[in-house]
Amino acid sequence: MIKNLQDTTILSNGVKMPWFGLGVFKVEEGPELINAVKSAIKHGYRSIDTAAIYENEAGVGQAIREAMEETGIAREELFITSKVWNADLGYETTIAAYEESLKKLGLDYLDLYLIHWPVEGKFKSAWKALETLYKDGKIKAIGVSNFQIHHLEELMKESEIKPMVNQVEYHPRLTQKELQDFCQKHGIQMGAWSPLMQGHLLDNEILKEIAEKHNKSIAQVILRWDLQHGVVTIPKSIREQRIIENASIFDFVLSDAEMERIDGLNQDLRVGPDPDNFDF
């Protein structure tokens, strides 16, 4: 059972990844971003998830340095993730993109580096680059994002190293059960982006009823549901109060019946792009 904010899942290569972290999608560079990341670290978060396309790696890096200085937390205690953008997929270009992300973040290494989207004809060469960076000791773990089962199968056919993580859109309206079963079978840790469905679930009656029973918010119930399903989750927030609230999910447990009721909300409904049909 996951007991606190620093609890970790062990990836297939033995690296420990926190179950819970802060996402910074669509948070612009500036004081708001820096304060959010620092607040999260101050309140016990150890995992921060960014991406090249978010254009905020420099601010995330600054916040990490300031937080380490102010709290005395060592770099090794933090788990920092970034992702290579579609335009940079390819062997040489992915390696260059990694170095650029590292430079912006001001770090010596990343804990996890992901291919952001499965661009056909490009993701395999990008994966070779990730394998190289991993073997050279520049990244602790490598993975993918938004990969469906057939993308994973295609990648694993020719790769030396299996992805350690697959981060996908995941929430009660999109439970991706088959994908999760596939990932579990192959030792790939699933992660959730947009776990709160960008706020679309916050007035759901079933979730409201369960939340009231536990004296929790709907957001807390959904995030707890993620963890009880063994899915790493990275809710985004810039408000300190919400950052604290999102992480206050270790003092209650959803029953099997409640988990099933939440599973029953699935409609295979996406708020983000479809990994089989995107054009960016």
Q: Catalytic site residues?
A: 54
Q: What does residue 269 show for φ and ψ, rounded to 5 degrees?
A: -105, 125
DSSP structure class, residue 200: T
Q: CA-CA distance, 29 to 34, in Å (whole number)?
A: 8
Q: Residues of 80-96 as b/e, b for ≥16 C-beta within 10 angstroms?
A: bbbbbbbebbbbebbbe
Question: Among 156, 271, 151, 177, which residue's Cα sits nearest to residue 230?
Answer: 177
75 is written with which tokens?
Answer: 């770099």
Backbone angle region of 254, left / alpha / beta, with phi > 0 → left and psi within -120 to 50 → alpha: beta
